[in-house]
Amino acid sequence: MSSENRSRIDLERLPVHIAIIMDGNGRWANERGLKRIEGHKKGGDVVDDITTYARQLGIKYLTLYAFSTENWQRDPEEVSFLMQLLADFLREKREKILNNNIRLNAIGNIDDLPQLVKERLIAVMNESSKNSEMVLTLALSYGSRSEIVNAVKSILRDSSQGKISVDELTEQRFSDYLYTKGMPDPDILLRTGGEKRISNFLLYQISYSELIFVEKKWPDFTPSDLEEAIIEFQRRQRRFGRAKSII
Ligand code: IPE
Ligand code: IPE
Ligand code: MG
């Protein structure tokens, strides 16, 4: 990370929540004549670097899209490699997460994950539950449409049991039925790998997020690229639908 960039970040106006679609692992590997899984391996190291940097900078919420509901349709070999990588990540990074006062969180259909991944995930989530410096959220078997449909199903169930009425359903109450309950909406949604799409990520939550698309593929993404993204975010003017006063 360059100290020059660091001084260009206004620490008083840091984004509270950064969400990242970590894309481009497979293409990164293929470009090098490697198998896609090599890209995922390198991508795992980048997760560590970016998390460490975000924690040092003082980012409060970092949310990483690691596996989508649609990603189950990939070649079974790739899927099982990704699941093993996740299990290894949880074992290897457990101590670092705990020592750095990071709370691990997960969003998605966690029950779909292999038993070993699920056990390790829940164990680290429980052990880190009192940590307070940063919330690291992994989106695993996550799909925004399924999140929204599940929320509606829970609301209907609660409604039939008299726990919520039509008039009581507000935007705030609705968001409490999402996996992201209690989390602020992302200030930045960043996607690496050059594609300019959302791919079923946080559709409800990104209503007013600043979208940043970078060409670099995830295995090449560095802390200084994240700095650049934060600087870009700080250059933008967020209006949330209000008009900008010119006087
Ligand atoms: C992102 O990289 C990682 C996951 C989706 C698990 P990809 O695997 O999508 O890599 P590309 O986009 O095919 O290059
Ligand atoms: C989005 O990337 C999911 C993750 C990064 C985990 P994909 O590679 O699955 O998205 P598409 O297929 O390009 O839309
Ligand atoms: Mg991809």
Ligand with an atom nearest the CA of residue 27: 1
> What pTM was estimated for this model as a whole?
0.96
The answer to whether residue 75 is catalytic is no
pLDDT single digits (tens) 176-187: 999 999 999 999
Of the residues 5, 71, 100, 109, only one is catalytic, namely: 71
| Ligand 2, pocket-test mutation among 21, 68, 109, most atoms within 8 A of CB | 68
> So where are the chain's domains?
10-143+185-235
Atom of ligand 2 nearest to the CA of 139: 6
If you take atom 11 of ligand 2, which residue's CA is the nearest one?
A: 199
141, HSE (Cβ side, Cα atoms, 13 Å): 13
Task: Decide whether any atom of ligand 1 lies within 6 Å of the 185 Cβ.
Answer: no
10-143+185-235 maps to which CATH number? Answer: 3.40.1180.10
Task: Decide whether any atom of ligand 2 lies within 6 Å of the 199 Cβ.
Answer: yes
Ligand 3: centre distance to CA 148 (Å): 23
Selection from 63, 58, 47, 52 nearest residue 96 by Cα: 52
Helix, strand, coil share (%) of the chain residues, nearest 5: 50, 15, 35
Ligand 2: centre distance to CA 166 (Å): 36
pLDDT single digits (tens) 43-70: 999 999 999 999 999 999 999 999 999 9
Ligand with an atom nearest the CA of residue 69: 2
| Ligand 1, pocket-test mutation among 21, 23, 69, most atoms within 8 A of CB | 23
Place of tokens 């020059």: 4
pLDDT of residue 4: 52
Place of tokens 């639908």: 241
pLDDT single digits (tens) 16-25: 999 999 999 9
pLDDT of residue 244: 78
Comparing 3-17, 122-136, 187-201, 230-244, the range with the smallest average pLDDT is 3-17
Categorize the per-residue pLDDT at 7 as very low, low, confident or very high, splitting at 50, 70 and 90: low
Res 91 pLDDT > 60: yes
Place of tokens 């989390």: 183
pLDDT of residue 95: 98
Task: Decide whether any atom of ligand 1 lies within 6 Å of the 186 Cβ.
Answer: no
- Which residue type is seen at 133? E
If you take atom 9 of ligand 2, which residue's CA is the nearest one?
A: 71
The answer to whether residue 71 is catalytic is yes
Of all helices (H) and strands (E), which one includes residue 105? strand 102-107
Atom of ligand 2 nearest to the CA of 70: 9
Task: Decide whether any atom of ligand 1 lies within 6 Å of the 140 Cβ.
Answer: no
User: Distance between CA atoms of 177 and 231, rounded to whole angstroms?
Assistant: 33
pLDDT single digits (tens) 29-40: 999 999 999 999
Contact 187, 18 (CB under 8 A): yes
- Alpha-carbon dihedral of residues 136, 141, 142, 145, nearest 10 degrees? -170
- String of DSSP letters for 22-65: ---HHHHHHHTT--HHHHHHHHHHHHHHHHHHHHHHT-SEEEEE
Residue 199, number of CB atoms within 10 A of its CB? 14
Alpha carbon of residue 110 to chain centroid: 15
